[in-house]
Amino acid sequence: MLKNLKIKNDTLRYCIALCCTFIFVSCGRSLRTHKYVKPVNTETKAIQYQQKKLYSIDGIHVTNKFPAARLNNFEKLNDSTFLATITPENTPINPSPWYAFKLWSNQTKDIYVKLHYPEKYKHRYNPKLSYDGENWNALDSTKIWLDEQKDALLKLHVTQDTLWVAAQEIQDTKRVEAWASALQGNSVSLDTIGKSVLGRPLFFMNITNGSSKKKPTVIIISRQHPPEVTGFLAMKSFVETIIDEGKNNGFLDKYRVLVYPLLNPDGVDLGHYRHNTGGIDMNRDWSVYNQPEIAQITKHMVKETNKQRNDVLLGLDFHSTYQDVYYTPHKIIERKIPEFKDAWLEKIRIALNLETINDSPGKNERPTSSAWFNRQFGATGITYEIGDDTPRDFIKTKGKVSAQAMMNYLLEL
Residue 10 lies in a domain: no
Helix (H, G, I), strand (E, B) or coil at 102: strand
Residue 8 lies in a domain: no
Question: How many distinct structural domains can be found in the chain?
Answer: 2
User: Helix, strand, coil % (nearest 5) of the chain?
Assistant: 30, 25, 45
Q: Which of 136, 166, 196 finishes a domain?
A: 166
pLDDT for res 135: 98
How does pLDDT run across 26-47, given as a tens digit for each residue? 445 799 999 999 999 999 999 9
Residues 203 and 338 in one domain: yes
How does pLDDT run across 165-200, given as a tens digit for each residue? 999 999 999 999 999 999 999 999 999 999 999 999
pLDDT for res 225: 98
Residue 49 lies in a domain: no
Residues 334 and 202 in one domain: yes
Are 261 and 345 within 8 A, CB to CB?
Answer: no
How does pLDDT run across 128-149, given as a tens digit for each residue? 999 999 999 999 999 999 998 7
Residue 35 lies in a domain: no
How does pLDDT run across 215-230, given as a tens digit for each residue? 999 999 999 999 999 9
pTM as predicted: 0.93
Q: Which stretch of DSSP H or E encloses residue 90?
A: none
Residues 47-62 as b or e (16 or more Cβ within 10 Å = b): beebeeeebeeeebbb
Residue 259 lies in a domain: yes
Residues 191 and 138 in one domain: no
Residues 296 and 252 in one domain: yes
Q: Which of 166, 199, 229 finishes a domain?
A: 166
- Categorize the per-residue pLDDT at 241 as very low, low, confident or very high, splitting at 50, 70 and 90: very high
- Distances, alpha carbon 60 to alpha carbons 109, 157, 386, in Å: 10, 12, 36
Residues 319 and 388 in one domain: yes
| pLDDT over 70 percentage in the chain | 93
Q: Which of 166, 197, 217 finishes a domain?
A: 166
Range of the domain at 87: 54-166
Residues 154 and 177 in one domain: no
Are 239 and 207 within 8 A, CB to CB?
Answer: yes
How does pLDDT run across 116-131, given as a tens digit for each residue? 999 889 999 999 999 9
Distance CA 303, CA 360 (A): 31
pLDDT for res 7: 37
Residues 131 and 263 in one domain: no
pLDDT for res 149: 76
Residues 141 and 214 in one domain: no
Give the number of other CB atoms < 10 A from CB of residue 198: 12
Residues 195 and 160 in one domain: no
Residue 7 lies in a domain: no
Residues 93 and 136 in one domain: yes
- Distances, alpha carbon 366 to alpha carbons 3, 110, 283, 327, in Å: 46, 48, 9, 13
> Domain holding 300: CATH number?
3.40.630.10
> Domain holding 105: CATH number?
2.60.40.3120
Residues 177 and 162 in one domain: no
pLDDT for res 148: 83
User: Does pLDDT of 343 surpass 70?
Assistant: yes
CA angle 70, 367, 400 (to 5 degrees): 65
Residues 267 and 370 in one domain: yes
Residue 146 lies in a domain: yes
Residue 116 lies in a domain: yes
